Amino acid sequence: MKKILVVLLFVVVGYNSAFANTVNINKYEKLKIFARVMAIIDNNYVDKVNNVKLIDNAIKGMVSSLDPHSSYMTKDEYKELKVVTTGKFGGLGIEITLKDGVLTVVAPIEDTPAYKAGLKSKDMIIKINGKSTLGMSLQDAVKILRGKPGTKVTLTILRKKQAKPFDVTITRAIIHVKSVKYKKIGNIGYLRIAQFQQGTTQEVKNALNKLKNIKGLVIDLRNNPGGLLQEAIGVSDLFVKQGVIVSIRGRNKDDTQYFYANDDGNEPTYPIVVLINSGTASAAEIVSGCLKDDKRAIIMGVRSFGKGSVQSIIPLSDGSALRLTTAKYYTPSGRSIQAIGIEPDVVVKQAKLTEEANTYTLREQDLAHHLIGPKSSKAEYSKQDIEKMLKNDYQLLRAVQLTKALVKAENIVCRKK
């Protein structure tokens, strides 16, 4: 029996070793063919070629075949990336990706030229300044879209449910993104997070401190394209007492990272409703996924974008760099976000409300000699402003209504106790 086991072990080990050697031989054979093809092009192509550009393009093709988010950046492109992430630049204010080979809008960032021009999540950009984007890399598209503030760029958009493509001309501007906005809607707090950038967690803390005496909260993550992982973790930690916020899992099990909540003792206990839509992506999906799995919030809206992969920037010796997908995000329950997104607990599609024709109704205040009621306190936003905002945003209206219902239900339970 022992002899048989030894023989089997030898066969398996020998087979694995032979297989590995075959793979290596095939790899090196292919590299020889690559060098041979390059030499043939260099010597026989009809025009003289730039060998450096040829190799750069070959590497770009290899990396771009992996997934839409992995890419190779030349030295100049890597410098541009650093400008975008650390400085000011002229742009449109949209997050874009390649979806099925088509340049697609993830989300327009609030209060930017793209947002004001009416671009929407899932809009397909089929031309830029009349040039087809078919076969265009993400980096090349970004390079064309950015430019000197005040200059214009024309996008040809293909939008679902519209018969023909249409042109949108947008003026580039310095992109200043206000990450957090807030207001009170009666006794309900409204917190809008446009994207997760440096300082977002502190801005949310400040907003919560100023939204005093609220009974419930609506967190609006619609059209939030994501941003910094640490800020998404920090914001989640403001509402969750314990447990996993998100995990990052790579190819090897040893590479798995877990990020946990810290119980600071001051997490709010009021009901929370989180609004999401198809433009909610990446870091915004981490927050909504965390609050959903922890049962800390009810998620309302439509399914999110589904961008749940992690890209690492790897600088190379010649000043170029590799942006490589190295891991995927998982929610606390272990569900992958990638290409699936976050499913809302309550599905509410955006809609327009139409008012019925006004009819005169007699009220107490219309009666002669009616008793005067107490004066209402002055609000930060007028009643008319709030009504207008809710009238124009059906999803927000439903979120506020649900939050108010949860507050009432909580009060009833407390009284019974």
Catalytic residue among 70, 137, 282, 304: 282
User: Residue 2: its pLDDT value, please?
Assistant: 44
Catalytic residue among 123, 220, 237, 293: 293
- H-type alpha helices, 316-393: 383-391
d(CA 102, CA 114): 18
Stretch 163-192: mean pLDDT, rounded? 94
Active site residue 167: no
Residue pair 287/224 in contact by the 8 Å Cβ criterion: no
pLDDT tens for each residue of 132-149: 999 898 888 988 998 889
d(CA 33, CA 25): 12
Catalytic residue among 307, 309, 393, 404: 307
User: What dotted CATH number matches 180-347?
Assistant: 3.90.226.10
d(CA 234, CA 212): 21
Domain boundaries, the chain: 90-174, 180-347
pLDDT tens for each residue of 17-27: 554 566 566 88
At residue 376, what are phi and psi to the nearest 5 degrees?
-80, 145
Give strand ranges (E) for 235-350: 244-249, 257-260, 272-276, 298-301, 309-315, 321-330, 346-347
Which distant-in-sequence residues (6+ apart) come within 8 Å of 355 by Cβ? none
Residue 400: pLDDT over 60: yes
User: Could you give the 3-state DSSP secondary structure of residue 398?
Assistant: helix
- Indicate the DSSP class of residue 368: T
| Banded pLDDT at 357 (limits 50, 70, 90) | low
User: Residue 25: its pLDDT value, please?
Assistant: 67
Residue 353: pLDDT over 60: yes
Active site residue 70: no
Looking at the domain 90-174, which fold is it?
Answer: Pdz3 Domain (2.30.42)
User: Residue 19: its pLDDT value, please?
Assistant: 47
Give strand ranges (E) for 349-409: none
Q: How far are the Cα atoms of 13, 140, 186, 289, 331 from residue 274, in angstroms, in the given order?
A: 54, 35, 18, 10, 16
d(CA 232, CA 109): 17
- H-type alpha helices, 107-222: 113-116, 138-145, 200-210
Active site residue 376: no
Residue 189: pLDDT over 90: yes
